[in-house]
Chain A
Amino acid sequence: MVSFGDAGGITGEASGNSPTDISLLTLGPIRFSKMVADRANLGHIENSRGVKILGLLGVQLFKRFELIIDYESSRLYLHLISRKESSSYQSQQLKDPETYHTFPINIQENKLLTNVHVGGKKLIFVIDTGAEANVLDSRLPDRIFENVSITRRVVLTGSGSTKIEALYGDMSNMKMGELAISSLPVLVTNLEKLCFTYDRCIDGMLGFDFLSMQKIGFNFVRNKMYIWK
């Protein structure tokens, strides 16, 4: 499973899981040697999803790659960008700029960030395929929540017994660059725990539900994200 955003199984984040050394990790023809990974019990995800999951690949692994995810045909395209082609390489799939949108991204503390606008106000969202739902921070100003219509309340449980209330809603008037998103389903919760080590917090997450609607791609060297039209 590929999980952008938080540590995603690769160390560098204080996720409380003990690290372990991996001498060699291969992904098709790509070889990563002397990796450090967090050990975590992923059994509860297996139990919830019915899918065998032995590990999560984090964003750190892909820092030198162009990555295109085509959900429909279940294909992952990876290209290791050499130093020589840092500014020039682009997949043939990106030949026609009319077929996709381009957005700037940046990576901070292993989180993949992009800007969105809601009701004209700029927000910082994490791009995270490891989150299924899109998430919105409940502490955002009222002006943002004027665009959110709450539809359901749920009590959520993690792997332990901790229970927490959260809300589902639909957010309107959202824009990502030139891409207008008329209605985005969001899970509303307090994201205080996702604040950075310095004085800044993230406002929300764009999750798998949104990112899997169409083909997406990332160039982690040139800090770009592509969403196909």
Chain B
Amino acid sequence: MNRCYHIVNRLHRVILILCVMLCVTASNTIAQGPVKKYTVKNGKMYIELGKNLSSQAIDSFIVQFDLGELYLKELLKRNMRDSLEKYGWQVEVNNKDLFILSKPMLGFDKIKDPGEKILFTENRVRSGTLFPAVSSRVIFGMNRFRDKNDFRVDDSTVVFFLKNNLRANKVFLSGSFVNWSETALPMQKTDSGWIASVKIGPGKYWYKFIIDGRWFVDNDNRNRENDGEGNINSVYFKTNYLITLDTFVRAKRVNVAGTFNNWTNNQLQMEKTDRGWRLPVYLGDGTHTYRFIVDGRWMADPFNPDRVPNEYNEYNSVIRVGKPYIIKLDGYTQAKQVILTGSFNGWRRDELFMRKTADGWELPYHIGPGNYEYQFVVDGKRLGSPHGNGNLTFTIQPNYTFKLNGFANAKTVYLAGDFNNWSPNGFPMEKVGNEWVLKVHLSPGKHLYKFVVDGNWIIDPGNKLWEQNEHGTGNSVVWLEAIRN
């Protein structure tokens, strides 16, 4: 019995020694090199972060996984966990070498609903979904070719290229630029495929190849779009701007973010060159502000002198496309400072400082088609319209007239829709005879709107097309046919 106890006791010691050895081995393994991992185990997400990571490596991890809200640097430096816990993360391991954090993965409750499932599983990597076609004019685009280079461009001529298919007898290029004619653009055979030259200006174009009578999308082009009638077309952007950063050749990753992609930090990765980084893009008319993110670190463009102040007491760089409009304020010649603020710049009051002239103030500003509200800030005091919500409005390139019949006795009628951020009293309609009218700019695609008659929201009684909204009160729907360039 004693002997038996002795053996068991020795066995315990052996197990204990084994355990200690295993722990030492594990700790040695962990100590090797800085760890930064995002994994899934047991239905949970895990983040492993080595405590010896460089600040840049942490920044780059935060950008890649969009973890800004967790304040991971505060956790690593000061063991502060407030933000982590707020967002449902738990610290599983905290030793001298690393943190391991975990959070259970939840599912999407409505995934059984076919419509919800389509939305939920949308591929958010595509540029098409980054810049949705509906209710937003095209302000940004870039090409995404797979196994071939971007089409060759000489000034305004783009050489469309179809790889291989050398056995085909006849190949045509068709697209929005020839109004989808099936025969206008025959392609020439080369030793590696087929080419056709097309003169087009900067913008977004849709195209397909017709190979021996059959229509094909461009397999090497990842930009594709449904035309709303069940056909998938390839999309080509004739770019008009090359974003460059001729430095940081040793950086691992450089992204650009700006007003054109809602400042999303990890969408637009630049291509490496011998001198630095580049990204050819299409930018619509207007004023675009942007910054670079070099291995996780945000910065203004060091080579672009055109910049405006931002909320971090730093600067955003500026690209201006199209023609400037002069925005004027007459009078107020005694004022010291006049700032322009509006829906076109997110109502920032720290960005657009107007210039004094002999009889007032003015600012040349590049602005694209759309419906805008604005105010002046004169020496800190807001100056707008005495009516409605107090904002002034203007429309650039009006192309659609809304009309409301009846309501002849109404005192005020406003138009509110997705095209003016549902402003309830920003866009007054004008009474002409018995009807109320307002001309606005609508981008191609679907738009939702309502009229606000003496404060009451109504759907358009003259439009049969409407859909339900989250309040159960409905919105009128208008589709503007795509203007194919």
A-side residues, CB < 8 A to B, are: 3, 5-9, 13-17, 40-52, 56, 58, 71-74, 128, 130-133, 135, 138-139, 142, 145, 148, 150-156, 158-160, 162, 164-169, 185, 187-194, 205, 207, 209
Can you add 5 more A-B contacts, CB < 8 Å, to A17-B113, A138-B40? A45-B118, A49-B132, A159-B116, A165-B105, A193-B109
B38: contacting residue among A48, A52, A150, CB under 8 A: A150
Q: Among B122-130, B293-301, B305-313, which stretch is in contact with chain A?
A: B122-130
Please determine whether A132 and B64 come into contact, CB atoms closer than 8 angstroms: no
Chain B residues packing against A (C-beta within 8 Å): 38-43, 45, 64-67, 103, 105-125, 129, 132-135, 214-217, 219, 225-232, 266, 445-446, 448, 467-468, 470, 477, 479
A-B pairs, top 9 by smallest CB distance, nearest first, are A50-B133, A190-B107, A131-B121, A43-B467, A50-B134, A138-B105, A153-B65, A139-B43, A150-B38
A62 to B133, CA, bound (A): 31
**Contact present for B121 and A44 (CB under 8 Å):** no
Nearest residue in B to A213 (C-beta to C-beta)?
B219
Which of A46, A158, A188 contacts B110 (CB under 8 A)? A158
Q: Are A15 and B134 interface neighbours, CB within 8 A?
A: no
> Which of B107, B114, B232 has most chain A Cβ within 10 Å?
B114
Q: A6-B114, A71-B217 are in contact. Are A41 and B65 (CB under 8 A)?
A: no
Q: Shortest CB–CB separation between residue A136 and chain B, in angstroms? A: 9
Q: In whole angstroms, what is the CA distance A151 to B125 when docked? A: 11
Give bound CA distance, A185 to B446, whole Å.
31
Contact A13 B112 (CB under 8 A): yes
Pairwise interchain contact B215-A194, C-beta atoms closer than 8 A: no
In the complex, the answer to whether B109 meets A189 with C-beta atoms within 8 Å is no
Q: Judging by beta carbons under 8 Å apart, are B45 and A167 in contact?
A: yes
Cβ-defined contact, A50 with B105, below 8 A: no
Q: Of B113, B129, B215, which contacts A74 at CB under 8 A? A: B215
Query: Which residue in B65, B116, B219, B228 is a CB contact (below 8 Å) of A152?
Result: B65
Report the separation of the CA atoms of residues A15 and B114 in the bound assembly, to the nearest whole angstrom: 8
A49 touches which of B42, B134, B219, B229 (Cβ 8 Å)? B134
Q: Is the CB of B118 within 8 A of A131?
A: yes
User: Which chain B residues border A17 with CB–CB below 8 Å?
Assistant: 113
Cβ B43 vs Cβ A138 within 8 A: yes
Interchain CA distance A194-B129 in the complex, whole Å: 25
On whether the beta carbons of B38 and A6 are closer than 8 Å, the reply is no
The reply to whether A165 and B115 form a contact with Cβ atoms under 8 Å apart is no
- B45 cross-chain contacts in A, Cβ below 8 A: 138, 153, 165, 167
Closest to B121 in A: A131
B65 to chain A: which residues have CB within 8 Å? 152-153
A–B complex contacts, Cβ < 8 Å, 30 sampled: A6-B117, A7-B112, A40-B113, A40-B114, A40-B115, A41-B115, A41-B467, A44-B119, A46-B446, A48-B134, A50-B134, A50-B445, A50-B446, A52-B228, A56-B115, A72-B217, A74-B231, A74-B232, A130-B117, A142-B42, A150-B38, A150-B39, A158-B108, A158-B110, A160-B470, A162-B109, A164-B108, A166-B105, A167-B38, A167-B45
| Minimum distance in angstroms from B86 CB to a CB of chain A | 14
Task: Report chain B residues within 8 Å CB of A72.
Answer: 215-217, 219
The distance in angstroms between the C-alpha atoms of A169 and B467, with both chains bound, is: 36
Is A15 a contact partner of B113 (Cβ separation < 8 A)?
Answer: yes
Chain B CB within 10 Å, residue with most, of A132, A139, A154, A209:
A132
A187 contacts across to B, CB distance below 8 A = 121
B27 to chain A: closest CB distance in Å?
Answer: 21
* Residue from the list A9, A50, A73, A169 in contact with B228, Cβ < 8 A: A50
CA A72 to CA B233, docked complex, whole Å: 9
User: Which partner residue on chain A sits nearest B469 by CB separation?
Assistant: A43
Query: Roughly how many angstroms separate A192 CA and B468 CA in the complex, as a whole number?
Result: 29
Q: Identify which of A44, A132, A191, A193 contacts B123 (C-beta below 8 A).
A: A132
For the complex formed, measure the closest distance between the CB of B191 and the CB atoms of chain A, giving whole angstroms: 24
| A152 touching B66, Cβ below 8 Å | yes
B419 to chain A, nearest CB (A): 13
| Cα–Cα distance between A51 and B66 once the two chains are bound (Å) | 30
User: Are B39 and A145 touching (Cβ within 8 A)?
Assistant: yes
Q: How far is the CB of B36 from chain A (nearest CB, A)?
A: 12
| Contact A168:B125 (CB < 8 A) given known A46-B446, A156-B120 | yes
Q: Do B113 and A48 have beta carbons less than 8 Å apart?
A: no
Q: How far is the CB of A194 from chain B (nearest CB, A)?
A: 6
A15 and B118 CA atoms in complex are apart in Å by: 14
Bound Cα distance from A47 to B132, whole angstroms = 8
> Is the beta-carbon distance between B117 and A131 smaller than 8 angstroms?
yes
CB contact between B122 and one of A42, A132, A193 (< 8 Å): that residue: A132
Contact B106 A73 (CB under 8 A): no
Query: Which B residues touch A189, using CB under 8 A?
Result: 105, 107-108
* Residues on the B chain within 8 Å of A192, using CB: 107
Query: What's the least CB distance linking A14 to chain B, in Å?
Result: 7
Nearest A residue to B107 by beta-carbon distance?
Answer: A190
Say whether A145 contacts B214, CB under 8 Å. Answer: no
Docked CA distance A154–B124 (Å): 9
Q: How far is the CA of A150 from the CA of B228 in the complex (A)?
A: 33
Query: Quick one: which of B121, B225, B446 has the most chain A CB within 10 A?
Result: B121
Q: How far is the CB of B365 from chain A (nearest CB, A)?
A: 29
A15 near B112 (CB under 8 angstroms)? yes
In the complex, are the beta carbons of B107 and A3 less than 8 A apart? no
Q: How far is the CB of B121 from chain A (nearest CB, A)?
A: 4
- Measured in the bound complex, the distance between the Cα atoms of B64 and A153 in whole Å is 8
Chain B residue, CB-CB nearest to A187:
B121
Which of B67, B115, B119 has most A Cβ within 10 Å? B115
Verify A46–B134 contact, CB threshold 8 A: yes
* Nearest-neighbor residue (CB-CB) of B112 within chain A: A15
Query: What residues on B are CB-neighbors of A16 within 8 Å?
Result: 112-113
Cα A41 to Cα B475 with chains together (Å): 13
Cα A6 to Cα B118 with chains together (Å): 11
